[in-house]
């Protein structure tokens, strides 16, 4: 199983949050959004729900890749929240806290642990990333 969406960078991306990272459909970002690592995300809630329904287990890898040079790739392991139900925000958490905004929990990385070259890439508004989610066998 695989699901893919895209997001864009923004000069206000800080990626300093200690327990989460997030993609949002919002087109703008304030400095208060320290967990946000991508804006203008084009994920489709219905397709994500179908992806979750078709997964064999709750183990996923979330790969963030740049769509232009320099080629940067970051991979995160986490567990799906089967009750994800938000059409605006897509949150991955290191903790086991769940809400309708939470796509995945027990992540092995939060925003502040993502590669610094990726975060620097995302500080430019014109830069884009792909987010690829795969269901993995235990």
Consecutive H or E run containing 51? helix 45-54
Looking at residue 138, its pLDDT comes to 61
Tens-place pLDDT, residues 59-82 = 999 999 999 999 999 999 999 999
Can you give the pTM of this predicted structure? 0.95
Given phi > 0 = left and psi -120 to 50 = alpha, else beta, which region is 15? left
Domain of 20, CATH number, reads 2.60.120.630
Question: What is the average pLDDT across 45-55?
Answer: 96
Looking at residue 1, its pLDDT comes to 83
Q: Which of 5, 87, 17, 76 is nearest to 46 (CA)?
A: 87
Query: Which residues 6+ apart lie within 8 Å of 123 measured at CB?
Result: 9, 10, 11, 13
Rounded CA-CA distance 113/18 in Å is 8
Q: Average pLDDT, whole number, for the chain?
A: 96
Peptide bond into 123 cis (omega under 30): no
What's the structural domain count of the chain? Answer: 1
Rounded CA-CA distance 137/56 in Å is 8
Which residues constitute the domain of residue 79?
Answer: 2-135
Q: How many CA atoms within 13 Å lie on the side-chain side of 83?
A: 4
Rounded CA-CA distance 110/34 in Å is 11
């Amino acid at each position: 199983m695989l699901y893919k969406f895209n997001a864009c960078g923004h000069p206000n991306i800080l990626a300093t949050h200690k327990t989460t990272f997030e993609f949002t459909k919002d087109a703008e970002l304030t400095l208060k959004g320290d967990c946000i690592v991508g804006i203008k995300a084009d994920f489709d809630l219905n397709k994500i729900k179908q992806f979750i329904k078709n997964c064999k287990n709750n183990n996923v890898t979330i790969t963030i890749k740049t769509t232009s040079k320099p080629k940067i790739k970051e991979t995160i392991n986490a567990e799906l929240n089967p009750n994800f139900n938000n059409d605006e925000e897509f949150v991955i958490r290191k903790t086991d806290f769940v809400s309708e905004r939470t796509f995945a929990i027990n992540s092995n990385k939060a925003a502040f642990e993502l590669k610094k070259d990726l975060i620097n890439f995302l500080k430019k508004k014109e830069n884009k990333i792909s987010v690829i989610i795969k269901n993995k066998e235990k």
